Structure 1
Amino acid sequence: MPGHYVAEAPGKYEWKTASSGGFTYRYLTNDPMQARFYTLKNGLTVILSVNKKEPRIFTFIPTRAGSNTDPRTNTGLAHYLEHMLFKGTDKFGSLNWAKEKPLLDQIDALYEKYNKTKDEAQRKAIYKEIDRVSGEAAKYAIANEYDKLMAGMGAQGSNAFTSYEQTVYMEDIPSNAVDRFLAVQAERFRKPVLRIFHTELEAVYEEKNRSLDNDGWKVQETLLAALFPTHNYGQQTTIGTVEHLKNPSLIEIRNYFNKYYVPNNMAVIMAGDFNPDEVIKKIDQKMGYMQAKPVQLYNPAPEKPLTSVITRDVFGPTPESVRIGYRFPSAVSKEKPVGVIVDELMSNSAAGLIDLNLVKAQKVLGGGSSPEWMKDYGVWTMFGRPKQGQSLDEVKNLLLSEVEKLKRGNFDDKVIQSIVSNYKKRQIEEYENNYGRADKLLETFVLARGDNYPDQSRLIDDMAKVTRQQVIDFANKYLKDNYVVVYKRKGEDKNIKKVDKPAITPVEVNREAQSPFLQQVNNMPMADVQPVWLDYKKDIQRGKAGAAEVLYVQNTDNDLFRLGYRIPMGTYHSKVLPIATQYLQFLSTDKYSAEEISKAFFDLACAYNIYSSGDYTTVRLSGLQENFDKSVKLLDHLLRNCKPNEEALESLKGRLLKSRADNKLNKGTIMQGLINYAQYGPKNPFNNQLTNDELKALTSAQLLDVLHSLFDYPQQIIYYGPKSIGEFSQEIASQHQMPAQFRPVANRQAFTQVAQNQNQVLFADYDMVQSEIFWVRNTGAFDPAALPTINLFNNYFGGNMASVVFQTLRESKALAYSTYANYDTPERKDEQYSISAYIGSQADKFHEAVAGMNELLNVLPESPKLLETAKTSMKKTMQTERIRQDGIIYSYLDAQEKGLDYDTRQKTYEALDKLSYADLKAFTEQNLANKPYTYCVVASEKRVTPEDLAKYGTVKKLSLEEIFGY
């Protein structure tokens, strides 16, 4: 069948050995990533995959130790350590190591004393001493010097994460920064210093408290605890227990580092633009000092089989749902290909049993399934959300009934080949970018030190060989009455134990300080890389297809296409439009049922979606070019010929009404509504929706009129694919129906940004541990000349971990896990700029958090060194940034909305060297300092009172109906 992936002959992937540049490596025959697997003399694994599409490199440095290897008496330790590996060593992060070290030794001893003390009064006294000595030690520390080092070489996305089996450090660096990157990483892992610990510990407290406000997180932890009564997957969480968080041991953290951060348990993974012979030599030179040690990784006894159904309840303010979990084979099991097929047969977002029989049939509000493949076991979960009036048990039973169909073989085994085709497409997309490549290599290192790479690489081949009987046998083996069901119920969680705020005195961050190591790294040469700016006239080809303009960029990499129809009509023109496009998924035509249409798109390995913003509706179609004609015709046929389905419409209305009610239980959605209210007033884009009564009164005729006529309106056709523009224009004109003359678009609903003339507080009450605060202010009309200053301001002030906001509010004052600020550029030339600032803090730090952000907004701290780092970072990033594929077209369309016809990055790049602190200060004083703001606050009234709020302006407590418009 067209588009189907055919498995190639067995033995396609075989390990081979080769030598180059003085180093021996293993590689896999026919590997599309052409990855090289090296093992250095000290046991360090190095995995390299060359991709020359842009002059950047994505890197992971993992260690095969995570929460599974935490001591039972110190859970959360691996995650603590992850945070501390950004704090430097005796060579960087310190002003004077000789003076800092004795103070850090005192802090070590104080924490050990604190851990052994039970009397609360004595503990408070010890912590007060920890705070005092930490303040003294911080005078010799340089906060965020690691972030400054990375920013100075043009790195992006400096981050790390900890999970069950791994702790991973990631960077996206320019290809000319390899020497600097390796110098920093080699030093970083040499002898990390646990400095500025108590403020970072407070950030981890904040992270724990955020998890207590996250019902989905609690459901997952509860599910795993029941599925794994012995294994650490269920018995230890990554962040750790409240009790262990309150009693950290720096000695235990250091011991953990010495035990697991050894070269034979670590890797350097790089994907991108480099010469592997040169890079392996440099890695060996820089990381060769590390000494191997025997490593005893977590190796638990097998879990006993589950022999009954286990039920658990989780309470919280978010909407009700049900999750069902089963144990599956591990990620390295030979049964994994069958397990992947089983999951996809149940749910693949298009043609799975749950997709068709429950979601498309509108028997539940939403549902699906997903696997998690881990080293010792897999976990397979199904999830569902109830419709109005539906019980969680009814949802559970519907999900289980689909499992029974699978076990009986009541499924179309032709879908297996379609699943394989879609996996092939997904793999091609993943290998297009450096992150996708590195992520695959990370998985194989963590799970099997690369030894399962052949199995991972032939996964698609093996999936193509899976038979109906194998699926039935697998399902009957693993999907018995041996599951855990977690009911997420609405209600108060009486088991929450918040991590209380300790007394912390703000510490020095020494913004202007620079260690000799930083200066040495910054003086290392970086080869010139010239920036490449877009030239919209040259980089985009233009054509015509009927009355429509064609915008075209050729795909010379593979056989995938992405097609878009961009129609200048959105939710500002029609409130009915987004409901009509949802209705479409349930409709048949004169030729095909709704189920057959879903299967047909999935069989073609093509997918479509329709997205409406305020001003535009974009219909997107993507897939294999060989199926282009069929998928284009099918989409046209569906929109032009869909038929009414009254039963589906009534079900849709019910589901939409339930979704609307559920939205009112989501704190993030509530905050989004508050921000829109602050920007535009009571009538705003967020609540620009039909009322519930208007929704109930909608008819099929109204909705079908929207769908049948969608392609009758003006449209730009966007194509990224392998066809030439001539071939494409001819093909699309023959397959895509358009009128000779387009219909006029309805008038647009205008929304005007309001002026913040006085301080105001918009408040929404929500049952939560934390408080979340957004500052909102509309500032002035769009002026492209201001963009260079704005871009530099954002980088300097609040856009990353080296910025003023992050350093001050998190690193110095320990007020938040997450905080940022941004001066937002409007989407259209007739809209205003605005400032948005955010901090999420414990409720008992509300006033400190507000005061801290206000101080920064009113008085821009001056740091010449930080400003220079911001400029350097931006320049080096822009030198190596490449906008590619259809991103070129969407960049052009974005510029066009602002009345521009050029790549604005070039103006910023050319202006950076001329901009000074005086420019940023003048910008701040003109737009931010001592100006009125609207504070958007989501918090619990039990923890943040009206009296608390009134200190910052006139308080308006908004009802959910005012926020949502229904």
Structure 2
Amino acid sequence: MKKTTHFFFCLWLLLTFSGVSRAQTAQQGWKTGTSPGGYTYKYLANDPMQARMYTLKNGLTVLLSVNKKEPRIFTFIPTRAGSNTDPRTNTGLAHYLEHMLFKGTDKFGSLDWAKEKPLLDKVDALYEQYNKTTDEAKRKDIYKQIDVASGEAAKYAIANEYDKMLASMGAQGSNAFTWYEQTVYLEDIPANALDRYLAVQAERFRKPVLRIFHTELEAVYEEKNRSLDNDGNKVDEALMAALFPTHNYGQQTTIGTVEHLKNPSLVEIRNYFDKYYVPNNMAVIMAGDFNPDVVIAKIDKAFAYMKPKPVTLYNPKPEAPLTTVQTREVTGPTPESVRIGYRFPGGVAQNRAVAIMADELMSNSAAGLIDLDLNKQQKILGGGSSSQFMKDYGVWSLYGRPKQGQSLDEVKGLLLGEVAKLKKGDFDATVMQSIVNNYKKRQIETFESNYGRADKLLDAFILSGGSAYPSIIGLNAQLAAVTQQQVIDFANKYLGDNYVVVYKRKGQDKNITKVDKPAITPVEVNREAQSPFLQQVNSLPMSDVQPVWLDYKKDIQRGKAGNAEVLYVNNPDNDLFRLGYRIPMGTYHNKLLPIATQYLAFLSTDKYTAEDISKAFYGLASNYNLYSSGDYTTVQLSGLQENFAKSVALLDHLLRQCKPNEEALASLKERIMKGRSDSKLNKGAIMQGLINYAQYGPKNPYNNQLTNDELKALTSAQLIDVLHTLFDYPQRVIYYGPRPLAALGTDLTQAHQMPTAFRDVPTRQAFVQVAQQKPEVLFADYDMVQSEVFWVRNTASFDPAQLPTVSLFNNYFGGNMASVVFQTLRESKALAYSTYANYNIPERKDQQYSVSAYIGSQADKFNEAVAGMNELLNALPESGKLLETTKVGMKKSMQTERILNDAIIYSYLDAAERGLDYDTRRQTYEALDKLSYADLKTFASTQLANKPYTLCVVASEKRISPTDLAKNGEVKKLTLNEIFGY
């Protein structure tokens, strides 16, 4: 994948299909309709997605769902082939190919194909020679030849031309991913860019050219090395290998083995493309604003050149039953945990609904056995269960983290104890109806977005190719029909002593073999070049779409509930509501708030036990959440409008009437202490601490926490007082839902207790951004293969007049895959898998702008990576074509961008924090045409170039020397106590 390799199926396959045709077929309730031009499609009745399934003459599947809420379309183009279909001798091949399908064809991505082709042929031949050579000295010599030949070929390549074409039409989120049974290419495009999009996609899959291969291969090396630093990934691989001793689910990883990564074959990659990228094995999936009758004809015309071929998908012999417990161990620097996995039938098997019901009964984040018996009673640090359904098999996993002093075997025993309850039927069967109700809510939420709709269509295509749609879309009804006895029978059949347990232990992994850095000479990226095909695509007409800016006075209705202001947006589409109480008091005012909100989950009231409360919310299909940022605490509640009054009253009752529980508090303190220890083992948490230290100094928002001694001295009375009085402070009510505003005020007044006068908010602790006066390096030692580097610098005070320049600069310089930073550091120099840079807009009007830049690379590339980013920060490269593409793409994206639902209210609140009362997008849109490279250069010279930065570095001191660190400024190695504040 271009950004993330592994993709796990969303399990809530709640598709329903419908249409307008009246012809009824005999096949499982399908109906058929015909679009103009004779395109026949299938659909199912009463479908809120109004989806159609077409099969074109060449076998290409087309799945369409119309959603008119915004003038955009989310698209997937999947092929039903992934790492399962990799040759055993070339694992990782599908993933390689995914990367290369962004490099162009003989028509785009090339300055001169006639001159480029013979050079690429030479690169091909050298790779085949390299692949078959075992002598290391000879291999190094061949790779030098590859590097030279690739550099010559790159002189004729136009790097990232695909990304430029998509960006210029206003596309967002251009990406792809590879998994076991699929490789998928995705885009979010303006509705008026459909013709351009189809022209590019049709050409993309016609004849892909594997250009700039060795630098992209190095990006894959980086991706592999990042996976070696990911303990969760290692646990997953160990689990799957034991569950599937013969099936490729366990025997091949998506990225591939180190040995195969070192020996790629371009011939095998092309063979793979020719074998699996055929129309009868692919689909075009769209959800959004379009006319399906028009779109199907356009898709047919664009992809009619594709010829079908017989496709044999991976279809191995069944795995032998597991008859004993398999134990595996994984070591690494992250906290200890245990994971237990079972194997059962996958795809759309008849017992799928029963399997999902069993999983939900075990863990649904509220009222499952693990939720109530282990998490709610704090018997472990945290745990749960999850299901995956692949085409051939399903995997059910339980996971748990130990408390302080608790062994992994004890956690394992507790988890298996809950499995035993499931097998005996020792669970509250009434929760099953609550599970069905919550699925109903999730279904509605899914259909709100184009992505959610397209994702459901994608899942169904990959799992069944279309044949099992009725079974998939009937899942909600199937869940409602599941009985307690069916769950018991399922558990006893599949959940015996046939599981795999993986112990994740803390320690050094001595088995890691990283992919070594090859010697790569930076290649040309030809930023200014444009192929005739790009010019042809950009000449295709795009109908005008007028941008829509928010008018906060018109788009938000205002009312009152008691003495609180209500900010209201109507939901005309469905029965969901989302309610928020925004209280201007956060952790900067009271450090007890985040602990009090954790404590609440374990408290009873005078009427209900803690378990009763969890079951009650889950039974209402409602969710509540309390979140404290520095300046605000937001109490959020969502659910079905029919249960609004009950949900609001229950939340009020809980906060106002919760009772102290000393045993729960003692357990919570132990768990927080263990969680704090675990955070010190998390490289992401460590980096966030370094960044805050760089921005604010030794005392910063990140370590603004109780010390361990203060935590130990904390009393129930203190926390209960925080909870009981939370609604006594000033609050704004945020509501998105179907209830009219006038009626809402009455509902809230009756269900939500509000004081006649609000309390005064405590004094806010101020955190002041520091001024970087000299180059400095903040270093934290961590056992890892990679090095993670962040540049931090605070700059000027917030000035809204700078917003258009900032927005254009971010998009041009470092905000996407067509930007200067990505093109230079990844595409040209192969220094990183992930890199970006951003000029950050402050959240409040009294804060400063800041610069942040990031590169994650192999430790042995540290000096090159830092030098590469420094060069870009100090001298902004000029590319007139890239700048123009950026401006055009931003305008087209903004023309079709719509801020909807309760996001309207939060947009208003964000603007208000900056002292603004208008939608700043309009200001940027109107200024773009007037901005030039000179403006960006002046901006970069003033704010970025040749300024002192603080480098935040997380890496292993065994792999990066103090001397290398010191080249970038005065080095300060921070202790974990300094970083975290405890």
Structure 2 length normalisation: TM-score? Answer: 0.97
Match of 2:326 in 1: 310
Match of 2:739 in 1: 723
- Amino acid in structure 1 at the alignment position of 2:36: G
Match of 2:438 in 1: 422
* 8 A Cα contact 1:31 1:457, kept in partner: no
- Quote how far apart the aligned CAs of 1:550 are: 0.4
1:512 aligns with 2:523: no
- Quote how far apart the aligned CAs of 1:21 are: 1.1
Correspondent of 1:795 among 808, 811, 820: 811
1:666 aligns with 2:682: yes
- Amino acid in structure 2 at the alignment position of 1:205: Y
- Quote how far apart the aligned CAs of 1:451 are: 1.5
Cα distance between partner residues in 2 of 1:13 and 1:143: 49
Match of 1:829 in 2: 845
* 8 A Cα contact 1:50 1:274, kept in partner: yes
- List per-residue Cα deviations over 1:936-962 (Å, max 9, x = no partner): 000000001111100000000000000
1:359 aligns with 2:358: no
Match of 2:294 in 1: 278
- Amino acid in structure 2 at the alignment position of 1:646: E
Cα distance between partner residues in 2 of 1:398 and 1:269: 44
Cα distance between partner residues in 2 of 1:455 and 1:176: 35
- Amino acid in structure 2 at the alignment position of 1:725: L
Correspondent of 1:633 among 649, 652, 656: 649
* 8 A Cα contact 1:13 1:28, kept in partner: no
* 8 A Cα contact 1:151 1:869, kept in partner: yes
Match of 1:939 in 2: 955
1:260 aligns with 2:273: no
- Quote how far apart the aligned CAs of 1:328 are: 2.0
Match of 2:503 in 1: 487
- Quote how far apart the aligned CAs of 1:549 are: 0.5
- List per-residue Cα deviations over 1:757-791 (Å, max 9, x = no partner): 10000000000000000000000100000000000
Secondary structure of the residue aligned to 1:19 is strand
Correspondent of 2:911 among 892, 895, 904: 895
* 8 A Cα contact 1:12 1:29, kept in partner: no
- Amino acid in structure 1 at the alignment position of 2:33: A
- Quote how far apart the aligned CAs of 1:331 are: 2.5
Secondary structure of the residue aligned to 2:601 is helix
Matches of residues 723-742 of structure 1 in structure 2 within 5 Å?
723-742=739-758
1:806 aligns with 2:829: no
Match of 2:946 in 1: 930
Secondary structure of the residue aligned to 1:879 is helix
* 8 A Cα contact 2:347 2:464, kept in partner: no
Match of 2:169 in 1: 153
Match of 1:746 in 2: 762
Secondary structure of the residue aligned to 2:838 is strand
Match of 2:3 in 1: none
Correspondent of 2:33 among 18, 22, 38: 18
Match of 2:602 in 1: 586
Secondary structure of the residue aligned to 2:725 is helix
1:188 aligns with 2:204: yes
* 8 A Cα contact 1:13 1:30, kept in partner: no
Cα distance between partner residues in 2 of 1:421 and 1:342: 16
- Quote how far apart the aligned CAs of 1:798 are: 0.3
Cα distance between partner residues in 2 of 1:678 and 1:19: 62
Match of 2:796 in 1: 780
Cα distance between partner residues in 2 of 1:181 and 1:896: 37
Match of 1:219 in 2: 235
- Amino acid in structure 1 at the alignment position of 2:697: G
- Amino acid in structure 2 at the alignment position of 1:330: G
Secondary structure of the residue aligned to 2:864 is helix
- Amino acid in structure 2 at the alignment position of 1:155: A
1:51 aligns with 2:63: no
- Quote how far apart the aligned CAs of 1:312 are: 0.3
Match of 1:694 in 2: 710
- Quote how far apart the aligned CAs of 1:32 are: 1.8
- List per-residue Cα deviations over 1:782-814 (Å, max 9, x = no partner): 000000000000000000000000000000000
Cα distance between partner residues in 1 of 2:959 and 2:442: 46
Cα distance between partner residues in 2 of 1:389 and 1:885: 47
Match of 1:405 in 2: 421
Cα distance between partner residues in 2 of 1:277 and 1:522: 25
Quickly say closer, same or farther: Cα 1:438–1:610, change in 2 above 3 A.
same
- Amino acid in structure 2 at the alignment position of 1:234: G
- CA RMSD, 1 decimal: 1.1
Q: Once the two structures are aligned, what percentage of the paired residues are identical? A: 79
Matches of residues 94-493 of structure 1 in structure 2 within 5 Å?
94-493=110-509
- Quote how far apart the aligned CAs of 1:12 are: 13
- Amino acid in structure 1 at the alignment position of 2:428: D
Quickly say closer, same or farther: Cα 1:553–1:84, change in 2 above 3 A.
same
Match of 2:22 in 1: none
Correspondent of 1:573 among 577, 589, 606: 589
1:959 aligns with 2:978: no
* 8 A Cα contact 2:76 2:285, kept in partner: yes
- List per-residue Cα deviations over 1:328-380 (Å, max 9, x = no partner): 22031011000000000000000000000000000000000000110000000
* 8 A Cα contact 1:12 1:30, kept in partner: no
Correspondent of 1:759 among 775, 785, 802: 775
* 8 A Cα contact 2:61 2:282, kept in partner: yes
Cα distance between partner residues in 2 of 1:439 and 1:385: 31
Cα distance between partner residues in 2 of 1:884 and 1:687: 35
Cα distance between partner residues in 1 of 2:731 and 2:663: 32
Cα distance between partner residues in 2 of 1:140 and 1:123: 26
- Amino acid in structure 2 at the alignment position of 1:561: F
Secondary structure of the residue aligned to 2:724 is helix
- Amino acid in structure 2 at the alignment position of 1:345: L
Cα distance between partner residues in 1 of 2:908 and 2:501: 49
Match of 1:78 in 2: 94
User: Which runs of 5 or more residues in structure 1 are unaligned?
Assistant: none
Match of 2:8 in 1: none
Secondary structure of the residue aligned to 1:141 is coil
- Amino acid in structure 1 at the alignment position of 2:670: G
Cα distance between partner residues in 2 of 1:12 and 1:735: 50
Cα distance between partner residues in 2 of 1:116 and 1:603: 62
* 8 A Cα contact 1:858 1:929, kept in partner: yes
- List per-residue Cα deviations over 1:895-941 (Å, max 9, x = no partner): 00000000000000000000000000000000000000000000000
- List per-residue Cα deviations over 1:524-545 (Å, max 9, x = no partner): 1000000000000000000111
Cα distance between partner residues in 1 of 2:328 and 2:224: 22
Match of 1:530 in 2: 546
- List per-residue Cα deviations over 1:581-600 (Å, max 9, x = no partner): 10000000000000000000
Secondary structure of the residue aligned to 1:686 is helix
Cα distance between partner residues in 2 of 1:726 and 1:917: 52
* 8 A Cα contact 2:337 2:400, kept in partner: yes
- Amino acid in structure 1 at the alignment position of 2:838: N
- List per-residue Cα deviations over 1:476-529 (Å, max 9, x = no partner): 000000000000000011110100000000000000000000000001100000
Match of 1:858 in 2: 874
- Amino acid in structure 1 at the alignment position of 2:278: V
- Quote how far apart the aligned CAs of 1:457 are: 1.1
- Quote how far apart the aligned CAs of 1:149 are: 0.5
- Amino acid in structure 2 at the alignment position of 1:263: P
- Amino acid in structure 1 at the alignment position of 2:30: W
